[in-house]
Amino acid sequence: MNKYESATLERMTTPATDWLRLDQQICFSLNAASRAFGGVYRVVLKDLGLTYPQYLVMMVLWEHGELPVKKLGEHLRLDSGTLSPLLKRLEAAGLVRRERSARDERSVQVRLTGEGSALRERAVEVPRRISAATGLDLAEIQDLRARLDRLTAALDAYGTDPAPEPS
């Protein structure tokens, strides 16, 4: 059962323990980066009264205008289990309204209130401050974004096609 017991693998670069360490690094690193980002957003968004996920929702609404929960979820890769309570909080804060669509009673249309639209003016400050916090220039940000997007695509593909066991 030992993966690497074959004596013919002389130049093998990565015994099991090294894989383990490397993997630890990448998952540690990504997890840490994600939470570090969360911390900065928390600080920057505090005087807007938004959490980071709420800010993402508002960004989509600012860009696309009114849209149903389903579409919102597609943009953000989130389902109604996450969005329903989040949107309820945004509604309680007076930033959005939710109304059943007349044409399709299953669908709930989410639209900005005047207050929600107005918040955009104060939010334009956010990206610059976040960018400053990263210490990266535009090229680096774009490059990193591209790598992360490729990574996400690969990981999603694994989800739909759970990687055949190696013979």
Partner DNA sequence: CGCAACTTAATTGCGCACAACTAAATTGTG
Partner DNA sequence: CACAATTTAGTTGTGCGCAATTAAGTTGCG
Residues at the interface with a copy of itself (CB under 8 A): 3, 13-14, 16, 19-20, 22-37, 39-41, 43, 52, 56, 59, 76-77, 124, 126-136, 138, 140-142, 144-145, 147-152, 154-159, 162-163, 166
- What's the min distance (Å) between Cβ of 28 and DNA? 11
Give CA–CA dist 120/127, Å, rounded: 12
Distance of CA 61 to the CA centre of its chain: 16
Give the interface segment with DNA, choosing from 1-9, 10-18, 86-94, 148-156 (CB under 7 A).
Answer: 86-94
Q: Which listed range, 14-22, 97-105, 119-127, 137-145, lies at the site for DNA (CB under 7 A)?
A: 97-105
- Greatest Cα pair distance, the chain, in angstroms, is 71
Q: Does the footprint of DNA cover residue 82 (CB under 7 A)?
A: yes
Helix (H, G, I), strand (E, B) or coil at 45: helix
Kindly state whether residue 96 participates in binding DNA, applying the rule CB under 7 A: no
Distance CA 80, CA 94 (A): 20
> Residue 161: helix, strand or coil by DSSP?
coil
98 binds DNA (CB under 7 A): yes
Q: What is the DSSP letter of 96?
A: E
